[in-house]
Amino acid sequence: MTTLNILHLYPKEMNLYGDRGNILALTRRAEWRGIDIKVIPFEPGDKLPKKVDIIFGGGGQDSGQEKIADDFKRISSDLKILIEKGTPALLVCGLYQLFGEYYQPAGGKKLKGAGIFNLHTVASRDRYIGNIVLKSKKFGEIVGYENHSGLTFLDEFEEPLGEVVSGFGNCGKTDEGIIYKNCIGTYLHGPLLPKNPKITDFLLETALKNLGEKTELKELDDEIENLAHKVATTRPR
């Protein structure tokens, strides 16, 4: 049986608004296809595992980001190597911000990011909360829930995850998130993956491809997932 190792970054501090549900979605959709999943929680001071097939990191409060900031600097170069070689990843909210150049909290010191994403984030006085719908070239319609005060500015040459149909997104303009190589950054909580199985399967397929495994995943009955997706699109912001 094929085993995929998921590196879960800072689950104690960076796990708001159901982000752990993304790990559950990856695990279940893999197991239903006969793929074994090993989740490796990573906390400050830990040593990065030698084998990483998928990277996941969730959101957290500014205080949580400050707690992990120094340790995150320690592993940033290793994470960049993993991303550059094509390791699939999903970074939500707080870790989406820290994968960029920097995050400037309101009234706090600037937190240096990993510089993997060509973007930066500045906290605003407002908070952007509610359901959000995106139109993505890669994944079609994406639904989720955003809750952030950060305004994220992408370099003009970077590819966003999707176009905002309803909601706020990166900075209240037209785009949300980012796609870089096989890495996805986004503000969408909810959690994201149970309602968007195409993204879940992309992460799994890419991880298998990197291992030289068969990448055509067995089709699943997504009736419940599709219903959850549809309901999410009807909820007012």
pLDDT at 94: 94
Q: How far is CA 181 from CA 106, 116, 158, in A?
A: 31, 10, 11
pLDDT of residue 65: 87
Instruction: Give the chain's domain count.
Output: 1
Query: Residue 184 has what pLDDT?
Result: 98
Q: What is the pLDDT of residue 173?
A: 73
Tens-binned pLDDT, residue by residue, of the chain (237 aa): 789 999 999 999 998 777 889 999 999 999 999 999 999 999 999 999 999 999 999 998 888 888 999 999 999 999 999 999 999 999 999 999 999 999 999 888 899 999 999 999 999 999 999 999 999 999 999 999 999 999 999 998 999 999 999 999 999 878 999 999 999 999 999 899 999 999 999 999 999 999 998 778 999 999 999 999 988 888 766
Q: Catalytic residues, which ones? A: 93, 189
Pairing of strands 183-186, 3-9: unpaired
The answer to whether the CB of 54 falls within 8 A of the CB of 149 is no
Q: How far apart are CA 79 and CA 88, in angstroms?
A: 11
β-strand partners of 78: none
The range of the structural domain enclosing residue 101 comes to: 3-234
Q: pLDDT tens for residues 149-199? A: 999 999 989 999 999 999 999 998 789 999 999 999 999 998 999 999 999
pLDDT at 139: 98
Cβ contacts of 195 within 8 Å, gap of 6 or more: 143, 144, 225, 228, 229, 232
The CATH number for 144's domain is 3.40.50.880
Rounded to the nearest 5°, which phi and psi values hold at 9?
-75, 125
Where is 206: in which H helix or E strand? helix 197-210
Question: How would you classify residue 227: left for phi > 0, otherwise alpha for psi between -120 and 50, otherwise beta?
Answer: alpha
For residue 208, the model assigns a pLDDT of: 96
Q: In this structure, how many other beta carbons lie within 10 angstroms of the beta carbon of residue 182?
A: 21
Query: Which residues partner with 129 through β-bridges?
Result: 147
Residue-level pLDDT at 1: 72
CA dist 162 → 4, 57, 134, 154 (Å): 27, 19, 5, 13
